[in-house]
Chains A and B, each alone.
Chain A
Amino acid sequence: MFRLRPEGDPATIAVVVEGRTTLVPAGASAAAAVLLAGFRSIRETPVQGSERAPYCMMGVCFDCLAEIDGVPNRQSCMIEARPGMQIRRQIRARKVDPAA
């Protein structure tokens, strides 16, 4: 659905979205990587479990929540893609471990 603009910076940063290695330009957000990797959604909402994809891309809507490098519920549009970054689906509400 999304492609890089031809006049933009080349895609040189390799991140992993749900196991799919994807190259993005330097400075791109993790949310951009999700879209570029071709996923139609990146999270399931906590209560209804319906699918959501990055939407506002500016830190407002919270629909781009993803697990990034093991940390749940990150706003992926506000996080810059780094080499080797692991981006995974946020499935419903995050877990907590009161016993930890």
Chain B
Amino acid sequence: MTRYDAIVMGGGLVGSAIAYGLAREGLRTVLLDEGDTAYRASRGNFGLVWVQSKGDGAPHYQRWTRRSADEWPALAAELLASTDISVGHERPGGVHLCLDETEFEERRARMARMQAEAGNFGFDYRMLDRRELADMLPGLGPSVIGASWTPYDGHTNSLNLLHALHKGFVEKGGRYIPNTTVGNAEVAPGDFRIPTADGEIGAAKIVLAAGLGNASLAGLFGLNAPVRPQRGQILVTERAQRVLPMPMTTIRQTIEGGIMLGDSQEDVGFNTSQKPEVMKTIARRAVLSFPWLRELQIVRAWAALRVMRPTACRSTTSRSASREPSPPTATAASRSPARMPTSSLR
């Protein structure tokens, strides 16, 4: 058996960020990952580093998200220096567009509620009317009546981020074991043992960061993590000169120029197929927001599964209430010593 200080299960953004942080702090760390057929939220990510709607009704989650976003510039710089990979992080602030009065009033109430819940931590935001917004965003469609804005929001290239974290982890001495599905484990106080194709591995600490896989993994360790999938579909346009100065909840222009259009929230189980009706709705809403998008060609589209907490209300159709992902990790034995921004990507 090979012993480590920590075993991280799950090589997506959360797991690789934790593993990178543990290795950086000098712990002997092994990262277990599945293969290309895994439901990989990290590969379908929209790439927002989003703050303004996170933690409605959960002030701790609001604080956690903001602190995470605050640490992002340092993380991006560190990854560039140590791996030579640019994760394309920008934090110009962000807006959530509202296409009718009802949306605007709901948003206003939500932002006021979050500011009240923030207490002394503070929550800087503004509700912008159409005229102010049109000065910020070129070619704003007549259907947009206003938006909420905060300075905290940003975006990144999540595929480059995943690449950089994996590269950085291995360079810091971490061991990466792909194509591994964990079906059983031996659990004793301070002694976790996992059989892998490369032989048994053991550690005093284990981190479950397997996304939707946590639902079945947690039981092996006496934990309960009934996370559920929620499908999101995304469209991407051809690359164009950069015109959008900041990301929006469902529209953002990447550093390379492509414009990503999201996103749907669908309860369809473990189904990653795409649906033309949903794609049409996404495109229609995007064109209402920015009519000039009509001229651009869609070059890629995909669906991926978010990791959601089980208690989110599905039937009330409150878009906002159902869209907050759960905190994505469960840790046994100890809290992770690594302080890494892991929570706010989606």
Which of the residues B257, B290, B296, B297 comes within 8 Å of A46, measured between beta carbons? B257
Chain A CB within 8 A of B302 CB:
no
A63 nearest CB across to chain B (Å): 13
Q: Which segment, of A3-11, A80-88, A89-97, faces chain B?
A: A89-97
Chain B CB within 8 A of A1 CB:
no
Which residues of B from 232 to 259 have beta carbons under 8 Å from A? 238-243, 255-257
A71 nearest CB across to chain B (Å): 9
- CB-based contact A95/B290 at 8 Å: no
- CB-based contact B295/A73 at 8 Å: no
B134 nearest CB across to chain A (Å): 10
Which of the residues A46, A97, A98, A99 comes within 8 Å of B239, measured between beta carbons? A46
Chain A interface residue count, Cβ-Cβ cutoff 8 angstroms:
13
A99 with B297: in contact, given A73-B238, A94-B240 (CB under 8 Å)?
A: no
Which of the residues A62, A94, A99, A100 comes within 8 Å of B241, measured between beta carbons? A94
B295 proximity list for chain A (CB < 8 A):
96
Chain A CB within 8 A of B188 CB:
no
Q: A62 CA to B299 CA in the complex, in Å?
A: 10
A93 with B240: in contact, given A46-B257, A100-B292 (CB under 8 Å)?
A: yes
Residue in A closest to B259 when the chains form the complex, CB atoms? A96
- CB-based contact B238/A94 at 8 Å: yes
Residue-wise interface mask of B (210-244) relative to A, using a CB-CB cutoff of 8 A (1 in contact, 0 not): 00000000000000000000000000001111110
Residue in A closest to B256 when the chains form the complex, CB atoms? A47
A73 with B292: in contact, given A99-B138, A99-B139 (CB under 8 Å)?
A: no
Residue-wise interface mask of B (286-323) relative to A, using a CB-CB cutoff of 8 A (1 in contact, 0 not): 00001010011101000000000000000000000000
Which of the residues B243, B255, B297 comes within 8 Å of A98, measured between beta carbons? B243
Chain B interface residue count, Cβ-Cβ cutoff 8 angstroms:
17
Which of the residues A46, A92, A96 comes within 8 Å of B243, measured between beta carbons? A96
Beyond A93-B239, A96-B292, A96-B295, 6 additional contacts (C-beta under 8 Å) are: A46-B256, A92-B241, A96-B243, A98-B138, A98-B243, A100-B139
A72 nearest CB across to chain B (Å): 8
B39 nearest CB across to chain A (Å): 25
Q: A46 CA to B138 CA in the complex, in Å?
A: 21
B263 nearest CB across to chain A (Å): 22
Q: A24 CA to B127 CA in the complex, in Å?
A: 58
Residue in A closest to B293 when the chains form the complex, CB atoms? A96
B292 proximity list for chain A (CB < 8 A):
96-98, 100
- CB-based contact B241/A96 at 8 Å: yes
A95 nearest CB across to chain B (Å): 6
B139 proximity list for chain A (CB < 8 A):
97-100
Q: A99 CA to B290 CA in the complex, in Å?
A: 10
Q: Which 10 A-B pairs have the closest CB atoms?
A: A98-B139, A98-B138, A93-B257, A46-B239, A73-B238, A93-B241, A96-B240, A98-B292, A93-B239, A46-B257
- CB-based contact A95/B241 at 8 Å: yes
Q: A73 CA to B299 CA in the complex, in Å?
A: 10
Q: A95 CA to B139 CA in the complex, in Å?
A: 14
Q: A62 CA to B255 CA in the complex, in Å?
A: 18
Q: A59 CA to B292 CA in the complex, in Å?
A: 25
Q: A93 CA to B295 CA in the complex, in Å?
A: 14
B126 nearest CB across to chain A (Å): 23
- CB-based contact B241/A73 at 8 Å: no
Residue-wise interface mask of B (49-73) relative to A, using a CB-CB cutoff of 8 A (1 in contact, 0 not): 0000000000000000000000000
